[in-house]
């Protein structure tokens, strides 16, 4: 049978299974959405409870309802154990399907599901997961077959065409700026350019905070930092977190440093740029001398692209 027909039939079978799953009103769906760092809710707690059953996957066993770094590592171990790729600690459709199969199967064995139909759902989901694996295998086989055909076919002289756009499969970071320190302010913009041929999602933006201020009353103080999806206060807040300043004043010519990681989850189409902005609230003065720098340390994208360029947002005590 032609490979394209096999893939079409596999997708048709999957489409027939999905209405069976969605039409059962009394069936329990434990993981109704994708989960990643920063997610909160009952589904996160259920995920942590399930992962904690295996100490080799989630040795900490904390059930907080917040998807943090420990949960991300546990999900990565779960994906490795169950041969789910890519293993990035992100709970996407394949990982959710596997979790539903295992959780529903466990619940059915312990007779705690609200309906006997859950065992049927577990069976359907398992078959769906198997079909997804077969589809991926068929796609890979089709690609390999096409590559073999191209390699063994007598080459034909190509017709001259316009040169395609150049892609170096990277993400460029830009956005240096210097701003005067104030009690509430915009710290600056960070612009990211996708230099690949497909859409890349910005997963994490990690900053190195370098602080050298002489304000003694700021020692140990906590202030708010906000990452926005755009350059104005009207743009979406992606993440807001508390940042605590070091208790000690940095020695002359040095900085107190700490890494800050913000979740973004924003897609950037091929050859396009996206601007993010960083905001701070309640920096306790007065400030007589010194500065704070926020230097972009790394950008994590999916698919993962190497970083180039850089950006440093400097908050300085400008003398008048």
Mean pLDDT confidence for 88-112:
80
User: Is residue 145 a part of any domain in this protein?
Assistant: no
| 8 A C-beta contact, residue 91 and residue 36 | yes
Does 155 reside within a domain?
A: no
**Lookup: tokens for 60:** 């900490």
Q: Are residues 98 and 17 in the same domain?
A: yes
Give the pLDDT confidence of 222-274 residue by residue, as tens digits.
878 899 999 898 899 999 898 888 888 888 889 999 999 998 999 999 999 99
Residues 10 and 88 occupy one common structural domain: yes
88 has a pLDDT exceeding 50: yes
Shared domain check, 45 and 89: yes
- The verdict on 303 and 175 lying in the same domain is yes
Residue 122 and residue 175 in one domain: no
176 within a domain of the structure (yes/no): yes
pLDDT at 291: 80
Last residue of a domain, one of 90, 119, 140: 140
Residue 254: give its domain's CATH number: 2.60.120
153 lies in some domain:
no
Question: Which tens digits make up the pLDDT trace of 47-87?
Answer: 999 999 999 999 999 999 999 999 999 999 999 999 998 89
User: What would you measure as the largest C-alpha separation in the chain, in angstroms?
Assistant: 79
| Residue 96, domain CATH | 1.10.101.10
pLDDT reading at 280 higher than 60: yes
Phi, psi of 103 (to 5 degrees): -65, -45
Q: Is residue 111 part of a domain?
A: yes
Q: Residue 127, Cβ neighbours under 10 Å: how many?
A: 14
Please give the residue range of the domain that contains residue 23: 3-140
Into how many domains does the chain fold?
Answer: 2
pLDDT, tens digit, 9 for 90 and up, residues 4-60: 555 555 455 545 544 544 444 345 678 999 999 999 999 999 999 999 999 999 999
Please give the average per-residue pLDDT across 93-111, as a whole number.
78
Domain membership of residue 161 (yes or no) is no
- Assign 319 a pLDDT band (cuts: 50, 70, 90): very low
Instruction: Answer with the residue of higher pLDDT: 229 or 175.
Output: 229
Any domain includes 151: no
> 12 lies in a domain?
yes
109 and 16 part of one domain: yes
Could you tell me if 74 and 197 lie in one domain? no
- Please tell me which residue, 44 or 161, carries the higher pLDDT value: 44
Residues 132 and 175 reside in one and the same domain: no
Q: Do residues 84 and 93 make contact, with C-beta atoms less than 8 angstroms apart?
A: no
Cα 252 to Cα 91: distance, rounded to the nearest angstrom: 46
Question: Looking at the structure, do residues 284 and 209 belong to the same domain, yes or no?
Answer: yes
Does 210 lie in the same domain as 129? no
Please check the confidence at residue 210 and state whether its pLDDT lies above 70: yes
């Amino acid at each position: 049978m032609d490979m394209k027909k096999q893939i079409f039939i596999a997708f048709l079978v999957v489409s027939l299974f999905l209405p069976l799953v969605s039409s059962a009103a009394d069936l329990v769906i434990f993981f109704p959405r994708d989960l990643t760092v920063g997610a909160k809710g009952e589904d996160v707690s259920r995920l942590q409870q399930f992962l904690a059953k295996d100490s080799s996957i989630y040795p900490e066993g904390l059930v907080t309802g917040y998807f943090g770094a420990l949960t991300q590592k546990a999900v990565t171990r779960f994906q490795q154990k169950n041969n789910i790729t890519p293993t990035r600690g992100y709970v996407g459709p394949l990982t959710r399907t596997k979790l539903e199969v295992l959780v529903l199967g466990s619940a059915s064995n312990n007779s705690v599901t609200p309906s006997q139909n859950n065992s049927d759902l577990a069976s359907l989901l398992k078959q769906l997961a198997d079909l997804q694996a077969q589809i991926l295998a068929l796609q890979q086989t089709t690609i390999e077959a096409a590559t073999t055909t191209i390699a063994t076919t007598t080459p034909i002289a190509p017709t001259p065409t316009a040169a395609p756009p150049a892609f170096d499969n990277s993400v460029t970071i830009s956005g240096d700026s210097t701003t005067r320190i104030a009690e509430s302010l915009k710290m600056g913009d960070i612009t990211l350019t996708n230099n690949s041929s497909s859409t890349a999602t910005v997963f994490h933006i990690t900053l190195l905070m370098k602080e050298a201020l002489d304000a003694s009353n700021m020692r140990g103080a906590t202030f708010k930092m906000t990452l926005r999806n755009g350059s104005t206060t009207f743009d979406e807040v992606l993440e807001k977190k508390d940042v605590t300043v070091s208790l000690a004043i940095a020695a002359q010519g040095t900085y107190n440093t700490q890494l800050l990681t913000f979740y973004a989850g924003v897609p950037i189409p091929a050859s396009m740029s996206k601007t993010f902005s960083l905001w701070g609230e309640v920096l306790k003065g007065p400030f007589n001398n010194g500065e704070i720098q926020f230097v972009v340390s790394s950008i994590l994208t999916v698919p993962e692209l190497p970083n180039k360029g850089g950006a440093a947002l400097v908050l300085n005590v400008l003398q008048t």
